[in-house]
Structure 1
């Protein structure tokens, strides 16, 4: 029998086998469990509830009535040239992020990455995406870095070089969630460093899962700028208002 016919036949059989599998393993919504949208683990109703961020401060991503620069950033310019958040920290994102961060729920992370890709695709691309690192002691306890788990597929989808080694967390700090704004800044003083001799791009976009006061991102941006990076921006999955 002709080899081309054999190959064509095998392809048809493979396609026929995959068809019922697509039905058997159709996407399920990671929020409510209902059938998901095609190629997405989120149903139409939960997708409609995603809290996409609207008008916000261009320097800190704090929600505003209209886009611009908030009063605080005008009076105290931050070390970040710009911050872009995909979402406000609200349902269902405020449920999905903790599931990824504390419960090894990578399906929740996949949904967030799919949504962030759509939100960030039209932004100016930096030469490098750098996820905020965990200190090695916390990484050992948790087993994975949630910012890196989100940044890796995001960088791949948007074709941005990913350089997690460009920023290191040299000091184990207290959990930021337990501190007020002043203590957060003090807690992060000298927490980040750039390896000596690292090849530095001119433009870096930091990535983190959640931005609250911005103290962590600011400390990382200051370390990069001190090392010689000309422009540092940030992308975050969600911004706490």
Structure 2
């Protein structure tokens, strides 16, 4: 079976060779990115241990988490939301560019997870109206191959979005919290384990993930981690 998969992958690359989605050069390491563009991706190496906010120094916690810790236990965001990853993310999320999504998923799978793996991986749900318009849940499509690679069970239906909310993109931190307050619920017929992680594509202020965390806590989950592909360097950054 592995040999057959390798054959079809090589055949596909021969017929449709990999090309960098950013500059058009030849793909690199099985991705639609060239080596130079891949090297420019902003890894989130120095960051807050609690919220993954990028930090200039090696401090364990950012100032905000020292003053008031978020409701979740730990965060993992392997990239910073900046050039050129932000262009790939925008094309994937708003431009229906599934090739960009596939590339982002591969990049995430190749990053080591610095925290303990959960018993179950969940994704931030879209309201059915937005899901119908977009055609896919960008967080779920990133989560599926990542869950397989890490051998972590994934459920897309444990969390529900009760009501439609405004897009978070143009809102400030306070408005974001108000926007998602009471927007999520855990399905009553689903039993959750003690340790789960909730995944989204980009984390800016963390308002959405915080609201999901509170709902999961009320449902009896003891430990909640938050995962995001990328973390905005400050709440003012769009994401």
TM-score, with length taken from structure 2: 0.89
Whole-Å Cα distance in 1 between the matches of residues 23 and 142 of structure 2? 22
**Alpha-carbon RMSD:** 1.9
Aligned counterpart, 1:25: 16
Q: Which of 61, 72, 75 matches 1:80?
A: 72
Whole-Å Cα distance in 2 between the matches of residues 18 and 209 of structure 1? 27
Structure 1 unaligned segments of length 5 or more: list them: 1-10
Structure 2 unaligned segments of length 5 or more: list them: 234-239
Deviation at 1:236, TM superposition (A): 0.5
Whole-Å Cα distance in 2 between the matches of residues 152 and 92 of structure 1? 23
Task: Determine helix, strand or coil for the equivalent of 2:202.
Answer: strand
Residues 27 and 38 in structure 1, CA contact (< 8 A), matched pair in contact too: no
TM-score, with length taken from structure 1: 0.89
Whole-Å Cα distance in 1 between the matches of residues 165 and 10 of structure 2? 51
Q: Say how many residue pairs are matched.
A: 227
Whole-Å Cα distance in 1 between the matches of residues 117 and 213 of structure 2? 17
**1:113-137 CA deviation, whole Å, 9 max, x = no partner?**
1111111445421111111111111
Whole-Å Cα distance in 2 between the matches of residues 165 and 142 of structure 1? 18
**1:25-54 CA deviation, whole Å, 9 max, x = no partner?**
321111111101142211110111011112
Deviation at 1:221, TM superposition (A): 0.5
Deviation at 1:19, TM superposition (A): 6.8
Aligned counterpart, 1:60: 51
Q: More displaced, 33-42 or 203-212?
A: 33-42
Whole-Å Cα distance in 2 between the matches of residues 202 and 86 of structure 1? 24
Whole-Å Cα distance in 2 between the matches of residues 99 and 239 of structure 1? 17
Residues 121 and 158 in structure 1, CA contact (< 8 A), matched pair in contact too: no
Whole-Å Cα distance in 2 between the matches of residues 220 and 231 of structure 1? 13
Whole-Å Cα distance in 2 between the matches of residues 21 and 221 of structure 1? 41
Query: CA separation of 1:228/1:43 partners in 2, compared to 1, >3 Å: closer, same or farther?
Result: same
Q: Max radius of gyration: which structure?
A: 1
